[in-house]
Amino acid sequence: MTHYLSAERVAEIIQKRGIGACITGVASYINQDFLRWNSFDKCARVANHSDVGVIELMPIADDKSYAFKYVNGHPSNYRFNLPTVMAFGVLADVETGVPELVSELTLTTAIRTAAMSAVAARALARDNCKSMAIIGNGAQSDFQALAFHYLLGVDTFHLYDIDSAATDKLEANLARFGVTTKRFSSAKEAVKGVDIITTVTADKTNATIITPDMVEPGMHINGVGGDCPGKTEIHGDVLRMGPVFCEFEPQSRIEGDMQQMPADFPVTELWTVLAGKVAGRTSEAQVTIFDSVGFALEDYSALRFMRDVALEMGLGETLSLIPAMDNPKNLFGFIGEDVAQTVANGATAGPTSAATSVTSARSTPAFVV
C-alpha cells in the first residue's frame, strides 16, 4: 500500500509539530541533501506554458529514491477562489519503482520554499540580521517571514503589496508570533534600511520591482517570485551589484531573474557554498543575491521530511494505488473471474454522460480516494 498525506493531514502535522519546527526540519533536510548534490540525477523541470499560467513537472532521483512534483502557477486563480500555486508529489523506491508516498505539496511547497530562502540567507546574508522587507504579501509571504524569524532571528518586517488586503492578511497572521510589522505605501519606502529584501510577487510579467537606487551596502536580496521564463522582479543592474547565487544553474538561467543577463554572466550554485567549496559573502558591505526559482531537490527533501514525521506521529492514510496480486504476471486476473461471464451475458457499460463528468473550471477541485 502507498502512504498518503492529504492537505488536512499535513496541516495537522504542522499544527502538532509547530510551524517553526517544520520549517526548521525541512531546512535541515534541504541542507543535508544539498551537501549530497553530486549523488542526484538532476534536470530542469518540464514546463507547459499558457497565456494565463504554467503547469510543471519536477523530477529528481538518487540511487535510493525517485521524487517528482506536479505544480502550477496561475496568478489569476483568485477569480475562481483557487490558490495561485497548487501541487502534489510522489516519493518512490528506485529499486522496485513502488510509489511509497503520495502527498499534497501545496502547503509543503510553501514551507520548503521559505526554508530554502533561509538556508541560502544563512550562508549569504550578514550575521545578526534583524530586519527584512517583504515585497508581495500573498500566500508565500507568511512562510518567508516565519522562516527568517525562526532560522535567522529576524524580528522586524517591512511590508508592501499593491493589494492592501494582502498586507492586512500578512499583518494579522504575523501578529501571533511576536514580531514587529510595518506597512509602507511603496516598495522603495519598504526596503529602506533593512538587512534583507525578499521579493515574492505572483504576476507573470517582466517586472522591475527592485532597482539599483533601492539597494544599500550589505543587503542580501532574496528573489523568489521570478521563477519562469518571462517573469522577473529584479533589475539587471542590481544583479551586477554583487555575486549571484542560484540552485541549479541550467534551470535558473532560463527561469530566474538572471534570464535577462547574457549567457556568460557569472553565477554560483548554492551547494558549492554550503559544501565550503566557494565563498559566499566576503565582506560586510557586499551585496549578495539569491536568485531562487525552486528546484526539485527541495521537494525531495520536503517529501522525505513529511514522510518521516508522519510515520513518527502515526498520521496519514493508505492508498490502494497498485494492484495487489498473488501472481504479478497475471494483471488481467486482478479484474476478477466474473468479467468473462459479464461479457458472455452481453452486459456493457456506457460512457459517462458529459453533463455529469465535466467539472467546471470555476469549481473547487476534489480528489476522491
What is the sign, positive or negative, of the torsion defined by CA atoms of 225, 54, 237, 265? positive
Task: Give the CA-trace dihedral at 26, 28, 33, 34, to 10 degrees.
Answer: 110
**Residue pLDDT tens, the chain, 369 long:** 899 999 999 999 999 999 999 999 999 999 999 999 999 999 999 999 899 989 999 999 999 999 999 999 898 999 999 998 899 999 999 999 999 999 999 999 999 999 999 999 999 999 999 999 999 999 999 999 999 999 999 999 999 999 999 999 999 999 999 999 999 999 999 999 999 999 999 776 778 999 999 999 999 999 998 877 888 999 999 999 999 999 999 999 999 999 999 999 999 999 999 999 999 999 999 999 999 999 999 999 999 999 999 999 999 999 999 999 999 999 999 998 777 776 666 655 555 444 444 344 444 333 333
Q: 179: burial class by Cβ within 10 Å (0-12, 13-18, 19+)? A: middle
Q: Give residue 60's pLDDT.
A: 98
Calpha distance 203→231 (Å, rounded) = 8
Q: How far is CA 271 from the centre of its chain?
A: 17
Q: Give residue 344's pLDDT.
A: 62
Q: Is residue 26 within 8 Å of 118, Cβ to Cβ?
A: no
Does residue 97 sit in the same domain as residue 140? no
Does residue 287 sit in the same domain as residue 160? yes
Reading the block at residue 356, the C-alpha cell is 455529469
Q: Is residue 229 within 8 Å of 49, Cβ to Cβ?
A: yes
Residue 259 φ/ψ, nearest 5 degrees: -60, -20
Does residue 160 sit in the same domain as residue 281? yes
Catalytic residue among 227, 257, 291, 299: 227
Does residue 174 sit in the same domain as residue 213? yes
For residue 300, the tally of other CB atoms under 10 A from its CB is 27
Show the domain range for 56. Answer: 2-107+299-319
Instruction: Tell me whether residue 227 is one of the annotated catalytic residues.
Output: yes
Q: Give residue 366's pLDDT.
A: 36
Which of 294, 329, 350 marks a domain boundary?
294
Helices vs strands, H then E, count in the chain = 12, 17
Calpha distance 210→136 (Å, rounded) = 12
Residue 163 lies in a domain: yes
Q: Give residue 195's pLDDT.
A: 98
Calpha distance 264→243 (Å, rounded) = 14
Q: How far is CA 80 from the centre of its chain?
A: 22
Calpha distance 93→3 (Å, rounded) = 13
Does residue 179 sit in the same domain as residue 284? yes
DSSP notation for 279-304: ----STT--EEEE----HHHHHHHHH
Does residue 286 sit in the same domain as residue 176? yes
Residue 232 lies in a domain: yes
What is the sign, positive or negative, of the torsion defined by CA atoms of 307, 311, 315, 316? positive
Q: Give residue 358's pLDDT.
A: 36
Residue 230 lies in a domain: yes
Residue 16 lies in a domain: yes
Instruction: Map residue 198 onto helix, strand or coil.
Output: strand
Reading the block at residue 80, the C-alpha cell is 475562481
Q: Which amino acid is at 67?
A: A
Q: What is the CATH number of the domain that holds 95?
A: 3.30.1780.10
Q: 223: Cβ–Cβ under 8 A, 6 or more apart, which residues?
A: 199, 210, 233, 234, 256, 257, 289, 290, 291, 292
Give the full edge-to-edge strand order of the sheet including 317-319: 46-49, 54-61, 65-73, 87-93, 99-104, 2-5, 317-319
What is the total count of domains within the chain? 2
Q: How far is CA 208 from the centre of its chain?
A: 22
Grid look-up 527568517 returns: 148
Q: Give residue 359's pLDDT.
A: 40
Does residue 75 sit in the same domain as residue 149? no
Does residue 307 sit in the same domain as residue 282? no
Does residue 310 sit in the same domain as residue 288? no
